[in-house]
Amino acid sequence: MTEFAKDTTDRHLAVAPFANLTVVEISNSVAAPFAGQIFSELGARLIKVEKPAGDDARGWGPPFWEGASAYFQALNRNKLSVVCDLRQPQEVAALVEFIVEHADIVIQNLRPGQVEKLGIDGATLLQKKPALIYCNLGAFGRVGPLKEKPGYDPLMQAFGGIMSTTGEPGRPAVRVGASLVDMGTGMWAVIGALAAVLERVQTGRGRVVDVSLFETASCWVSLLASQYLASGELAQRQGSGASGIVPYKGYKTLDGELVIAAGSDKLFRALASVLGHERWAEDPRFIDNPNRVKNQVELYALIDPLIAQQSTEHWEQLLDAAGIPCAPVNNLAQMLDHPQTQALGLVQDVPGTQMKFLGLPISFDGQRPAPYAAPPKLGEHNHLLQGNL
């Protein structure tokens, strides 16, 4: 216990609102590790509990970077890794003892039902420590016919309706490349846990917080779902476009792709002028957004060939000058190298390594939280808990 209390990791962070919190993360993969990383990057002491073989994400490569997959390293900086064999009752008991004595928050995303079998579920631990905040990151949610079923990001993009609206019309559904369901669920876990922390300040009591991949996926399609609930008509695949807003999509240019978001009547008039067809704005087919949505095939058939005649830079300059929102379709290298990315300081060095990662998308008084320690080796910090594990 004393070795944990005397942890001398240099954590002189300029932005550390969670410096007084100890978070125990019992997790694998993406969702819970991302939640844990948000806490750790904002100053919390984060104890990552891993099985003897380690977080599965350690092997999700190539590419590998300084001892583990780039996936794992990107999600686990600033953490302390402790190995706990959950098949060994004495190690489970030690973990419970540690949580009761030290933890403010527990976040977990083990297989459905596993924490209950082990006696490390929220209800059990809150009986031992009523002020504990315990957050479950599940697959399909805590109740319902699918509550025991496991889930991963692509499964939830499919089941939650995201894939049904992603891709080109008439072609198979497409998964969004980024793990937006996993990482979104991690964000909701942090939001829920922090709401419970605020409540605990007032009441002195903790609570169990539940989030799930399916609930996050359903949230991400809530605008599209509202259109269906209002009209009874299913949103179709829009490619780079948006259901209910026209013109609002990507176009091929002479040397790339450009997204133009002329999402109002005023912007459409400006776009028609830039394209040399001012009269489009008075055409009954295109005179307002409902009519443009209704006649979008005809409108896009007019716009597409015009945009294809010039370069992305040509159109960017004209559209920017006219105040029409637009953006090139950057690849990752272009995004990372862009002066705007550099000005924001989004790409951050990890101390003591050659690794660089994208930082959290938040700043306090103009300062972005920064990593202060490398991702841990498996079991690297077991010595901090010698009294328990």
pLDDT digits (tens, 9 = 90+) for 234-258: 988 888 888 889 999 999 999 999 9
Q: Using pLDDT thresholds of 50, 70 and 90, give the confidence band for residue 5.
A: very low
Mean pLDDT, the chain, whole residue set: 93
pLDDT of residue 2: 37
pLDDT of residue 9: 47
pLDDT 10s digits, 315-326:
999 999 999 999
**What is the average per-residue pLDDT within 209-228?**
95
pLDDT 10s digits, 165-200:
999 988 999 999 999 999 999 999 999 999 999 999
User: Is 2-220+358-385 assigned to CATH 3.40.50.10540?
Assistant: yes
Q: Max alpha carbon distance in the chain (Å)?
A: 78
Q: Is the pLDDT of residue 8 over 50?
A: no
* Top-confidence residue, 11 or 16: 16
**What is the average per-residue pLDDT within 253-275?**
97
Q: Is the pLDDT of residue 378 over 80?
A: yes
Which sequence spans correspond to the domains of the chain?
Answer: 2-220+358-385, 248-328
Q: What percent of the chain has pLDDT over 70?
A: 95
Enumerate the β-bridge partners of residue 26. 49, 108
Write out the two tokens for 117.
């079998």
pLDDT of residue 388: 52
pLDDT of residue 240: 87
Cα(58)–Cα(379) distance, rounded to whole angstroms? Answer: 13
pTM (2 decimals)?
A: 0.90
**What is the average per-residue pLDDT within 222-243?**
90
Q: Using pLDDT thresholds of 50, 70 and 90, give the confidence band for residue 385.
A: low
User: Would you list the DSSP string of 275-303?
Assistant: TT-GGGGGSTTTSSHHHHHHTHHHHHHHH
pLDDT of residue 333: 96
Pair 203, 189: CB distance under 8 Å: no
With DSSP H G I counted as helix, E B as strand and the rest as coil, what are the percentages for the chain, rounded to 5? 40, 15, 45
84: how many CB neighbours lie within 10 A of its CB?
Answer: 23
Q: Is 321 exposed, middle or buried (0-12, 13-18, 19+ CB in 10 A)?
A: exposed
pLDDT of residue 11: 53
Q: Is the pLDDT of residue 146 over 70?
A: yes
Q: Is the pLDDT of residue 12 over 60?
A: no
Q: What architecture (CATH level 2) is domain 248-328?
A: 2-Layer Sandwich (3.30)
3-state per-residue secondary structure call for 326-385: EEECCCHHHHHHCHHHHHHCCEEECCCCCCEEECCCCCECCECCCCCCCCCCCCCCHHHH
- The angle, 0 to 180 degrees and rounded to 10, between the axes of the packed helices 312-322 and 265-274 is 130
pLDDT 10s digits, 63-104:
999 999 999 999 999 999 999 999 999 999 999 999 999 999
**What is the average per-residue pLDDT within 271-277?**
97
pLDDT of residue 98: 94
Q: Which positions are catalytic?
A: 182
pLDDT of residue 144: 94
